[in-house]
Structure 1
C-alpha cells in the first residue's frame, strides 16, 4: 500500500495528522511507489532461506538467477528510516501509560491493541502505518506491542526533529482515511522482457520511483 498524504476535502479533520506524517522520518517509507512485479515476489518466496553470517540474520533468495540478500540494515537504508539507534519495543508499563494519554478507550493488561478504541484521528494514523508498513496483506483492527511502540514514539516526537501531536478531539462522523491502491502500472505480473541484471524498472517507471534504491541484489 502507498499512503496518500495530500490534503483534500475528504481529509478534513485529519490535516494535522497529514502534516505530521509529511514531516516524519517514515514519510518516504509510506509514500515511495516503485514498480512491483508479482513474478519476482513469487520467485523470492519460493527460494528464500534464512542465513546467519557474522551474527547478522538475513534472507537470501534467487530471483531470475540473481542472488537477493535482505538484511535489517538494507531495509533501513532503502526505506530511509534512519532509526538504527531507536528502540524495538517500549516497556509494557510505558505502552499502557502512553496509550492512556492518547485516550485509548479499552484499558487492558494484554499486549494486543485495537484500532477501534482510539479516536478517529489516531485511527487514521494507525491505519496508515498498518497499511503501509505492517507485514499483513489486509487491513487489521488489531496490532501488537511493537506496532503500538511505533505509534507512541511517533506521537511523542521521539526524534528531536519530529513535532508532537496533541490528543485530538474525537469526531462524530469522520471521513474515511484516504489511501491509494497500487495501480496496474505499479503491480505487474512479470518484469519487462530481458530483465536487467539488477532488475531495474524500465525508463517509463522511473518517474514513479526515480530515487528508490535497488541495492538488495548481489552477484
Structure 2
C-alpha cells in the first residue's frame, strides 16, 4: 500500500519539495486530499507550516497520527508523540526548524482507536422452586442461576441513552462506548413484576472494556 502511494507522491511532487508558494490563507491547512479518520492511508498536499499545524489540519489526534514523505525513493516518517528521537530524525532533517514547505505531498494515516466499552454476563435466578428443587438423600441440590436474554440500556452521566443491547441466548453482551461514567439499566419485562434487576454504575477507561455482570431476580423463592 505504501509503495503505491510512494509512486503517487513522487509523481505529484518529487522528493516532498514545494512546487510553488502557497497562498497565505492555505498555510497550516490540507489543500488537497484527506486522512481517513479510522485507519487506512491518505495522500495529502499540505499548505505549509509547522509540524503541529500539520497534525491539527489532518483532524487526527496526535497520539494516533503518522505521516510519511518520500525523498530519494526513501520513506521518511513523522510520528508526533514518539519518545524515540531516531524515529523522526530523517523527517526533521528534510524539514528543519519545525517548518514544512507549502504544497508538500505526504502520506497520512490515523491509526484506529483502541475500542472501549462494557461487557458481561446476564443471569436469572433462582431457577428452582421449593417443589421443583431436586433432592438427593433429603438434601437440597444446588440450583444455579441461568443465562438470561435481556435488554440493557446504557446512560451517560447526564442520563442520556448512549447505547442499548440485547444479550445472546448465552446471556453474554458486549457494547462499545467512549471512556466515561455510565449507568447500566436492565429493562424488566413490560407488565410483569419479575424477573427484575437493579441498575449498576460503571466507569469505562480508554482502550479497555469494563465487565458488568447483571443478575435478575426470577421471583422464585426456594425452601430454606
Q: Is the shorter-chain TM-score for this pair beyond 0.5, marking a shared fold?
A: no
- Which structure has more relative contact order (CA 8 Å, sep 6+)? It is 1
Task: Using structure 1 for the length normalisation, give the TM-score.
Answer: 0.20
Higher helix share: 1
Higher alpha-carbon Rg = 2
TM-score, normalization by structure 2: 0.20
